[in-house]
Amino acid sequence: MRKKAFIVGMSDYPNNTLDNPVNDANAIENAFTKLGIDSIKKNNVGIVELKEAIDDFKNDLLSYEVAIFFFAGHGLQINGENYLCAIDTDFNTETRIQFSSLPLTYLINLLEQTNVYTKIIILDACRDNPFERNLRTIGQTSLAPIYAPLGTLIAFATSPGQKANDGFNGNGAYTYSLLKDIFTNDLKIEELFKRVRNTLYTLTSKKQLSWEHTSLMGEFCFSSSSLTSIYNNNYSTFALTDSLFDYTQVTETVKIINCLHSWNWNLQNPAIQQISSLDTTNVNKDDLFVLGRNIYQSGVGPAWHAQSYLENLNSNLSIFPNEVQFHILNGIVYEIYFDKQGLLREKFKTGKIDNVYGLLFNQKYRESLLFIATKLRQYDFRVIYNPLMNENLILNITCTIHSDDLYAITEINMNGINILYKYDGTMLLQSSENIFLNELEEFKELIIKHIGIPSYKLSMYFIGLPDNVNRICIPSRFQLLTRPIRM
C-alpha cells in the first residue's frame, strides 16, 4: 500500500514566532521517511505557494492508495468554517482571513477528486493566537467539528472549542504524543489515536483532549511488521522458483520431495508417512522449504495422507525443531500464493488454506505469518488478504436483473470501493457480456481463490439479489484490484 504525505509547519507568523510547528513538521517528515512514506514538506510558506503545492500533491496521488496531510501552526474558525493559517495570512478582517488562509474544505474537496483509497488529515493547530483581539468579532482561535467524507479520517489536536498546548520537549504536545506510538507495528489507526488521546490528556494535566472524525472503510496502520527472524529465510532462487530445483540430489529429503512432486497419489501417500521419521539434522533450509511446498501441493490433490497431514499440521510439524518447522511452514504457505516460476498466482491454491492459517494465527508461528506478509506486500494493487490484520473481510456485491429472472453481478465493493476490474486490469468491469451461471457457494470459492483468504474470514452480502435465488451470472474472467494496473 503506497502512501504519500504532505507536511506543513508554520512558525514564522508576523510578530509572533511559534516555537514548535516547524519542529513538528520536521519530526513528522523524519518519522514518515522511516515508515516508508513518500513526503513533501513546506515550512513557513505563504498561502499562494501552499495552495500551489497542494494542487501538485493532488496530481502526485495517481499512483498512491493513501494520502496523508499534516499541519502544525495556527488554525481558526469563522462561521463554522475551518481555516489553516499561512505565514502571510491577513488577520485584520474576516474577508482577508478567508482569502489569505487555507480553508479545510478546500483540502477535503481536493482529496475527494482523487481515487485515493484512504485519506488522513492530521491538524496540530488551535494554538494560542496573538491576533485573538482582532478576532473577537470575527472568528474563534479553535477549529470546528467537520464531516469526514467516505474513506477519510480527520484528527484534531483538540476537542471542539479547545486550545492546544504549544510545547513539550521541542514539539507540540499533540505531535509528541503522536510520535510516541506511530512506530508501533500493526497498530490500527483508530487505536493509535486513542493512545495519542490518553498520552496527551496526561501530558497536559487533563487540559487538552484530542478528537477525531472518521469514515474510514478499511484498515490502516502506519507501521506494519517486517520479518526479523532469528532464522535465515533468504531462500535461493532454486527454492522460490522450484521448477529450477535439483530433483536429482540423492538425499532422503529429496527422495520424499520427488514422490510428492510426482502427482501420483500411490507415491505421495507413502512419502507423506515417511516425513515423521526424516532426520533433519543436516537438511538445508532450501530443501525444507521445497518439502513444504510439495506437502501442500500434494495435500490439495487426491492424496488422502497428504490431506490428513495438512488437517493435523500443528501436531505433524511439532515433532521437528523450531527452525525446521519454520522453513517447512514457509514453503507450505508460499505454495498457496506463488507458482513454480516464483510468480504470484492468478488464482491462489486455497484448498487447505483454512488449515494453514489455523497455524499462522498462532503466536508460535508468527514468524511464518510475517514471512508471507512480507512476500505479498509488493502486490498491493491486487486485493489479497492481509494476514497481519487477522480481520474478517466483508464484500458487498451488487446484482441487477440480467434476463429471464437471471441476475448478474455488476459491482464488488470492499470498504466502499468497487474492486471488480476487467481481466486486463485497465478499468472497472461494468459490462454484462461474457458471463456464465454460477452457484453462490461456488462463487464464494472463486472469490476465496482470487483473494487468498481463509473461508471463515470472508463474508459476502448480495445487494439486489432475491433471497430465493441461489445461482448468479458472473464474469467469465475478472480481477479484484485496488486500482487499475494498466492504462
Domain count, the chain: 3
Same structural domain, 251 and 173: no
| 172, 20 Cβ separation under 8 angstroms | yes
Same structural domain, 374 and 403: no
Q: What is the rounded average pLDDT of the residues 403-422?
A: 88
Q: What is the pLDDT of residue 436?
A: 80
pLDDT at 138 over 50: no
> Which domain-ending residue is among 330, 355, 379?
379
Could you list the residue range(s) of the whole structural domain that residue 242 is in?
237-379
Mean pLDDT lowest among 241-245, 261-265, 320-324, 403-407: 403-407
Same structural domain, 323 and 403: no
Same structural domain, 248 and 310: yes
From CA 432, how far away is CA 424, in angstroms rounded? 16
Q: What is the pLDDT of residue 136?
A: 47
Confidence of residue 176 (pLDDT cuts 50, 70, 90): very high
Whole-number average pLDDT of the chain: 88
pLDDT at 140 over 80: no
Q: What is the rounded average pLDDT of the residues 455-483?
A: 91
Dump pLDDT digits (tens) for 1-43: 789 999 999 999 987 788 899 999 999 999 999 898 999 999 9
pLDDT at 54 over 80: yes
- Residue 259 belongs to a domain: yes
Which H or E element spans position 471? strand 471-475
Same structural domain, 64 and 134: yes
Confidence of residue 486 (pLDDT cuts 50, 70, 90): low
Dump pLDDT digits (tens) for 364-406: 998 899 899 989 988 888 999 988 877 889 999 999 988 778 8
Same structural domain, 155 and 23: yes
Q: Determine the residue type at 311.
A: E
Residue % of the chain over a pLDDT of 70? 91
Same structural domain, 356 and 470: no
Same structural domain, 261 and 374: yes
Mean pLDDT lowest among 147-161, 202-216, 252-266: 147-161
pLDDT at 156 over 70: yes
pLDDT at 355 over 60: yes
Confidence of residue 135 (pLDDT cuts 50, 70, 90): low
pLDDT at 307 over 70: yes
- Residue 223 belongs to a domain: no
Same structural domain, 332 and 250: yes
Same structural domain, 442 and 417: yes
- Residue 485 belongs to a domain: no
Q: What is the pLDDT of residue 487?
A: 45
From CA 382, how far away is CA 218, in angstroms rounded? 15
Same structural domain, 94 and 165: yes
Q: What is the pLDDT of residue 33?
A: 92
pLDDT at 166 over 70: no
Dump pLDDT digits (tens) for 63-80: 788 999 999 999 888 887
DSSP 166-233: --BTTB-HHHHHHHHHTT-TT-BHHHHHHHHHHHHHHHTTT----EEEE---S--BSS------SS--
- Determine how many CB atoms are found less than 10 A away from the CB of residue 322: 13
- Residue 409 belongs to a domain: yes
Q: What is the rounded average pLDDT of the residues 149-178?
A: 80
pLDDT at 458 over 90: yes
- Whichever domain contains 109, its CATH number is 3.40.50.1460
Handedness of CA 104, 31, 206, 85 (dihedral sign): negative
From CA 162, how far away is CA 143, in angstroms rounded? 8
Q: How does strand 471-475 pair with strand 435-439?
A: antiparallel
Same structural domain, 345 and 404: no
> Which domain-ending residue is among 316, 347, 379?
379
Q: What is the pLDDT of residue 141?
A: 54
Q: What is the pLDDT of residue 161?
A: 60
- Residue 221 belongs to a domain: no
- Residue 224 belongs to a domain: no
pLDDT at 219 over 60: yes
Confidence of residue 439 (pLDDT cuts 50, 70, 90): very high
C-alpha cell at 234: 533468504
> Which domain-ending residue is among 379, 408, 437?
379
- Residue 385 belongs to a domain: no
- Residue 294 belongs to a domain: yes
Q: What is the pLDDT of residue 429?
A: 78
